[in-house]
Structure 1
Amino acid sequence: MRKTLLIAFFLLFQISFSKPMTETQKLAATCKIWGFLKYYHPNVADGSKNWDDQLFKILPKVEAAKTDLEFSNVIENWINSLGKVKAYKAEISNEEVDYFDKNFDLSWTQNTSLFSKSLCEKLKFIEQNKIQGKQYYVGEGIEFKNEVEYTEFNDKDKSFRLLALFRFWNYVEYFFPYKYQMDQNWDLTLIEFLPRTINPISQNDYYFSLKEFSAKLNDSHALFGARKLFDVFGWNFVPYDIKFIDNKAIVTGFKNESLSKINDVRIGDVITKVKGKTIEELIKENQKYAEGSNSAAILNNIEWAIFNDSTDNGEIEFVRNGKTAIKTINWYPYKDLKINHENKSEKYKFLENNIGYANLAVLTPDDVPAMMEQFKNSTAIIFDIRNYPQGTNFAIAEYLNPEPKNFVKSIDADLSSPGRYIWRKEDTPCGKINPDYYKGNVILLVNEKSKSHSEFTAMTLKVAPKVTVIGSQTAGTDGRNYRFEIIKGLWASFTTYGVFYPDKKEVQRIGIVPDIEIKPTILGIQQGRDEVLERAVLFAKNGK
């Protein structure tokens, strides 16, 4: 009798102190625990369980739990069913490891205001006795693998929608090196987007939410794609290139010149409205869908959201020669644009005043010796990196430096403790012992199209003597860009190892900061001028 009373008192005590949990709270916690177990629990991270199926089975039990205590009991029973975790004693290593821990935080597992004390203890024990072998779901260099593949993604099934979100969120949680630099805390992003996953107001809104979710990474490498997303924004493209300046869209070139002529679109035309909406309105409406590390990168990436369309034609308002006009223009399927990606620009040449110019979009490593021989007595060399280079950075650096130089410091994921990163012991320096190195001025041209390897190239060349960077803010993303399928038909990408300056200062989001900032103007584009190159030539002439 006494024992029965004690049990009843204990249960009453627990019930009186338990708190109700919302569906969002329960699912956010489930997402985090599911991901933690996936990469830490020895009997899960080894691939011996069908981890998607485990999620599908636990979700109804999570839904049925009404309080934090009931939720903790559900999770504890689930963990118990996964098998015993053996305690082990970690080997003491004499090797010094320089950890990068700005992303690494498992303190949430000890949140006693949300989890029971016993659940917290279980999660802590798993962390302390994590898997010791290879990860089944992620490989070296970061490769998501061995996920269950489905013949199709059923976006009408709540469990499948949750699985896609849980996979995506945890990929970023444990394997995105710049998570700490996001504008919004990643936990809050999960809470924000769960309701639109649980009960989307429409199929379109569901896919919009995933695009917004991807943009929250604040990473110019980030990307989310799905066929149904383009079904909304449209599969038809305009045949010309756009640059956004002062909330206006300026035509800067042609994807297909003949189709642009048919529509009487000319370089320098200033488009002020599309289908009755101002460019400023369209930027405000769509910038939440454009992935980018900074505002310059977002504007560079937003064109598709504004200028793609599902119809064949539409009305635009534009300004030409100071006069405003309205006309109907055509949109075309991508295949009809017949874009030739071959760049026939000159690889290198002399400009006025014995100034060398190299276009790194087309210059190859094999071209470098002949180019530097030709430029060895030039007054200055301008390297144009407003593009994606062809891997010439180390070859060029050998001619610019008197000795090897450190220009980068990198971090790699520690797969033994997912979420933690490690500073590389040594990154490859650039340059070599070269007493005959180039001694003239070196000028680097950069802008928002300087992204990833472009920025890495600028970092490589920037450490040489007498280097000046001219242009505007770069895309602010460096490191490996990894593209993967979240689940059938849903593609994403983001950066998976981190790149910093040798003093460990960030490049991500900041990009390469110009010594002399200059941006193209609407008038300059209309006059056919390259104002950034003009400024570089002026600097080469007078040093200022």
Structure 2
Amino acid sequence: MYKIGANFCFFWMIILSSLSSCGQREESLNVNGENIDGFKKKPIGWSYSLNGEQNKAYQVTLDSTTKIKGKYSFLIKNIGNFSNFGAIDYPINRTFKGRLIELKGYIKTQDVNTGYAGIWLRIDGVEGAIAFDNMSKSGVRGTNDWKPYSIKLPYDSKSAKAIHIGGLLVGNGRAWYDGFELFIDGKPLEKTELIPFILKKSDSDTVYNRSSGIKISNLTPQLVNNLAIAGQFWGFLKYHHTAIAKGEYNWDAELFRLLPNVIQAKSNSELSKALENYLDRLPKLPICNECNSIQKNIALSPNYGFLFNHSILSKSLIEKLVFVKNNRNVNTNYYLSFNHYNGNPQFDHEKQYPSMIYPDAGYRLLSLFRYWTMINYYYPYKDVIGSDWNKVLMDYIPVFINARDKNEYVLAVLRLIATVNDTHANIWGGNNILNEIKGKFTVPFEANFIENKLVITGYLVDTLGVSSKFKIGDIITSINGKKVEEEVKRYLPITPASNYDTQLRDLPSSYLLRSNENSFHISLIRNEKVLTESINGIGSSNINNKYLYKDKVAYKLLSNNIGYLFPAKYKNSDLPEVRRLFKDTKGMIIDMRGYPRDFIVHEFGAYLKSMPSSFAKVSKAWSNLPGLFIYGSQIYNGVLSNNAYTGEIIILVNSETQSRGEFTTMAFQSSKKVKVLGSITAGADGDVSKIVLPGGINTMISGIGIFYPNGDRTQRVGVKIDYKVKPTILGIMTGKDELLEKAKELLK
């Protein structure tokens, strides 16, 4: 996973868009766009934009003169500033048999300087996107003649309900797209077997789709207790009871059928009776002969909250819950599956209810209970979140119930997410409400925390007006009359991250440097003098972290015969040239302060290591028992070789080193030649699992556990570091990269 700023939101507009695709189910496919509607003069089934703003900012036409296949190509041209990107989209509302999908297409560009051009591929389930790629890390920039490109994604025929393909242009310039082709498991789409869609009983239960009917006016301690146990009861049955696993119940709606009696219960005895009566109405479970327990390689054991507490619930109810646990579902679950490739939990058929901007009390409880349950049973790091997860549920019931409007609801969800302490966990996808809270404008410069001070470190707009007022190394003490240290305390609870350094990484761009007012009044310290400067902001949606690496190169030679590699720009195809260039160097610096562009663990690892060795082991949820995680086999890289790199290697890390960057660092530091230099990394390793919540809220968690071979974790604490070095304000002022300089010194 990589760092995602506020500016990442425009990519998610593609993920979350719901373009019309009616009337396409029976006619032949038009993937290549060559079948033209004679009346509309457009390719049948294709859409030319995702919203009205794109129509104002990007013009889409068919071009019969510039093409590489067939009669036409698509041309997207930037003509305004109303949107950050333009896109074409072709939806296919069919499910196919297979496991890997590939989109191929050709792109030609002209003057694409501020963004990139790419093809994009999205797989949708019942409730939205389940896989997506838009070439955001490998987009086409500048002016280029026709070249072929491809995207591959895992394809789960059990969850996939639709496919979207297209092209997009981010920023300025123009781009042509042609020759679109789709393949599943290497076969052309038209030759791939179709799978019919079967409607489950849960999908036909729509009674509560508009309102839960739940109202709570007086939140007493007994009611908080009742709701917490009801949430645990509901979540336990969701992942244990066979009838629910078969998709025979709309489990969201069942919560609203359960809650009225729970709310009316005046004691634990009445609560037990309400829960037991509900349980008795569910189908009787058959005896399970496969529900055995596992005793070895346990990474994390299940926790059932208060459900088996005899001082709270009745003996007869507990006995029935124990029976459910001992005869639980061990087959496929309508609400859960596991990724074929990495074992991540996939939370299937979860409804987002995007039109409920401010959900009612019942739906707010559903949001809390759904998230709590997913973490309770399928989060690999629940034991290190830093708080009692059962207490979190109790504490957040009043927060969610008392949320008075859409803003308070979104912030309640964000605070809940932050309690998990996972840098992968946040509200993603350009949530409009959260963006309004953060602010439409940002200052036109970068600032980061250096020596616990907010320090200007770069410019986002290259104009004299900015650089004449604000200097690199200036210390910001207040913004619009608000002291920085007070604002840090204010926003920390709604800045999800695995550790404090990573919270400080995200605070400036998320909150401190943003406002809904376009004028910023900033107090500074420069050379021990206090200054005040004012400047107009720029649109926060116009900034994209992806372009902060524009001055970096993938690899080069430094002075003193040292090789330098920047994985955020390096591609696996660069390896032969790197081998040639670094052949006689005495040392190598791998700058992991960014998200690696390619997965280089094995190919580049084979260059660094002359023999294989283990560098990590993984914990995964055991499908037979919700809440149980077991350790898998160890992961190796390196090959037996006489052609490995022989010099010493230093890897540079900081809070920008996250997920794939951390995993890659672990892989490389398993070599005795490698040392790691820098400061604590983001502490969020393990492929992500997506979670959707009422109100159209999208979030994620680290879905599998990543550990060193000896069991030491990286979650929250980051990778192991040999030399702890942080930048200083003096170094920023003088333009020194102090981590790089220290690494060069060590390699002398």
Please give the TM-score of this superposition, normalised by the length of structure 2.
0.67
Cα distance between partner residues in 2 of 1:151 and 1:39 = 24
1:44 aligns with 2:251: no
Q: Give the partner amino acid of 2:514.
A: N
Superposed displacement of residue 178, structure 1? 0.3
Query: Partner of 1:28 in structure 2?
Result: 228
Please give the alpha-carbon distance, in whole angstroms, between the structure 1 residues aligned to 2:240 and 2:403.
Answer: 32
Distance 1:452 1:91 in 2: 34
Q: Which one of 361, 367, 374 corresponds to residue 164 of structure 1?
A: 367
Give the equivalent residue in structure 1 for 2:607. Answer: 399
Structure 1: tracts of 5 or more residues without a match: 1-19
Contact residue 350 and residue 692 of structure 2 kept, 8 A? no
**Correspondence for 1:6:** none
1:331 CA displacement: 2.2
The one-letter amino acid of 1:22's match is Q
Q: In structure 1, what is the Cα distance between the partners aligned to 2:473 and 2:221?
A: 57
1:232 aligned onto 2:437: yes
TM-fit CA distance, 1:485: 2.0
Q: Is 1:288 equivalent to 2:493 in the alignment?
A: yes
Distance 2:656 2:492 in 1: 17
Question: How far apart are 1:439 and its partner, in Å?
Answer: 1.9
Deviation at 1:55, TM superposition (A): 0.6
Question: 1:321 matched to which residue of 2?
Answer: 527
Partner of 1:450: 657
Q: Report 1:111-510 matches (<5 A).
A: 111-141=309-339, 142-153=345-356, 155-200=358-403, 203-225=406-428, 226-258=431-463, 261=466, 264-303=469-508, 304-337=510-543, 341=547, 343-390=550-597, 391-427=599-635, 429-510=636-717
1:318-367 deviation digits (Å, cap 9, x = unpaired): 12333211122222223444877273522211112111111111111111
C-alpha offsets along residues 32-70 of structure 1, whole Å, 9 cap, x if unaligned?
Answer: 110000000111122101111111111111111101010
For the residue of structure 2 that corresponds to 1:193, the secondary structure is helix
Is 1:239–1:260's contact at 8 Å kept on the other side of the alignment? no
Residue 737 of structure 2: aligned partner: 530
8 Å Cα contact 2:616/2:666 also seen in 1: yes
- 1:5 equivalent in structure 2: none
Distance 1:260 1:81 in 2: 71
Shift of 1:21: 6.2
Aligned residue pairs total: 519
Moved more, 336-345 or 396-405: 336-345
Query: How many angstroms does 1:105 deviate by?
Result: 2.2
**CA offset at residue 228 of structure 1?**
1.7
Instruction: Decide whether the 8 Å contact of 2:300 with 2:630 is kept in 1.
Output: no
Structure 2's unaligned 5+ residue stretches are: 1-219, 340-344
Residue type at the aligned position of 1:228:
I
Structure with the bigger percentage of helix? 1
RMSD: 2.1
> What displacement does 1:89 show?
2.3
Closer, same or farther: CA 244–129 of 1 in aligned 2, 3 Å? same
Letter in 2 for 1:116: S
> What corresponds to 1:17 in structure 2?
none
Residues 214 and 272 (structure 1 numbering): CA distance in 2 closer, same or farther, change over 3 Å? same
CA distance in 2, matches of 1:230, 1:91: 46
Q: Which amino acid aligns with 1:495?
A: S
Partner of 1:14: none
String of CA shifts for 1:239-277, please: whole Å, max 9, x gaps. 222211244211112333338727833322221111222
Offset of 1:469 from its aligned partner? 0.9
Q: 1:150 to 1:278 in 2, by over 3 A?
A: closer
Q: Which amino acid aligns with 2:433?
A: K
Taking the aligned partners of 1:437 and 1:321, their CA distance within structure 2 comes to 49
Q: Which residue of 2 aligns with 1:67?
A: 267
Judging changes above 3 Å, is the alpha-carbon distance between structure 1 residues 248 and 80 closer, same or farther for their aligned structure 2 residues? same
State which drifts further: 488-497 or 26-35: 488-497
SS in 1 for 2:614: coil
